[in-house]
Amino acid sequence: MEMTIAASLAASFVDYAEERGVDRGDMLSAASLSEADLRDPDGRISADAYGAVLDVAIKLTGDTGLPMRHAADRRLDHLSIVGLIVATAGPLSEVIPQLNRYVRLVADIPLRHTDHRFELVQSGAETWLVDTLPVDLAGADAIEATFASFVSSYRQAEPVIPLAVEVTVTYDRPVHAELYEEIFRVPVKFRAERNALRIHPRWVNVTDRDAKPYALNLFIDHAETLLVSLRETATFRARVEEQILRELHRGPVARERVARDLAVSERTLHRRLKDEGLTYAEVYDGVRDRMAREYLKSDRATVAEVAFLLGFSETSAFVRAFRRWTGLSPSDFRQTLI
């Protein structure tokens, strides 16, 4: 499944890194990108290409927090139609539904257990904004950049009252942890149970952050056009993979279940995959192979836990499958990463 990123986001980061002394040509060359690839504000580039740009910029500056700085320093409404929608949608309760519908236009990364990337969760008197983006798939830098963008955008609108009063993330404390203090200015808990911002009460039910209906409707019309285009360019394989990924943790994902979720018959599912030179079994195996490697690379889950996350009923069955995919046991695969 090819994940894509808004070309406007990549263009902004390239400009930002260049301002900090990184050679523009080095970044584009490493990602096999041209200036034309970045020119269209509604264009798309692969997530791998964007990752290559980040890697070069980080290596040449020695600053692992550079993507997070970029997110904090560049307003989202200057980067994407999604930012313009957020800026005109009004209070946070209205912003989140719009974000959930259109965030794929910024980063088209599949979710797992939900259709909504962002959730407002009430816990007693506290309100949390939870990001459900899978860290093992997208990387910790995607979470920290998103939160930095949220916090900085609200700070620009209201410098005195922060959006968040606490930040929790599921990953380890990064090398650039001091940047979290600089940007968030609130307590941060690493290796927590979820990636979330505890929202300041002032922003929960605020009514003075007015929507701008005329501008909002114009932006939504454009975003809908882009969303349709994004869906149409996705391969059928990518759509099948997304459904498998969403249900994988529940156990084996039957072909008939995926067909039902995609609103097609099993025969149509078989035919459309065949048109792309694939079978359902190959796609299913491919998803589990890729996710097994990602889980094992993260070193956060035991082999037994990885087996469970991939829908295997027994660890031994997972080990046999992983040997078939890679020629290695899960433990030996982890040793190759050391």
Residue 148 shares a structural domain with residue 202: yes
One domain, residues 199 and 88: yes
Position 148 in a domain: yes
Same-domain pairing of 93 and 192? yes
* Residue after which a domain boundary falls, among 21, 41, 63: 63
Last residue of a domain, one of 63, 83, 110: 63
Same domain, 332 and 290: yes
Query: In terms of residue numbers, what domain contains 139?
Result: 65-209
Digit-by-digit pLDDT tens for the chain (338 residues) are 568 899 999 999 999 999 999 999 999 999 999 999 999 888 999 988 999 999 999 999 999 999 999 999 987 777 888 888 888 888 888 889 999 999 989 998 877 667 789 999 988 899 999 999 988 778 899 999 999 999 998 898 888 899 999 999 999 999 999 999 999 999 999 999 999 999 998 888 765 566 688 888 888 898 888 888 887 677 788 888 888 888 887 888 999 999 998 889 999 999 999 988 889 999 999 889 988 887 887 666 789 988 888 889 899 999 999 999 999 999 998 888 76
Residue 217 domain-assigned (yes or no):
no
Same domain, 51 and 73: no
User: What pairs with residue 130 in β-bridges?
Assistant: 119, 196
CATH number for the domain spanning 315: value is 1.10.10.60
Q: Are residues 104 and 140 in the same domain?
A: yes
Count of domains for the chain:
3
Same domain, 72 and 149: yes
Based on the fold, state whether residues 190 and 130 are members of the same structural domain.
Answer: yes
Q: Does residue 247 sit in the same domain as residue 122?
A: no
Note the pLDDT of residue 30: 94
User: Using an 8 Å Cβ cutoff, are 197 and 163 in contact?
Assistant: yes
Q: Flag whether 85 is in a domain.
A: yes
> Per the domain annotation, does 327 fall within a domain?
yes
> Is residue 214 in a domain?
no
Distance (Å, whole) CA 81 – CA 263: 29
Tell whether 96 and 35 lie within a shared domain: no
Residue 83 · residue 89 · CB < 8 Å: no
Residues 57 and 176 in one domain: no
Say whether both 80 and 150 belong to one domain: yes
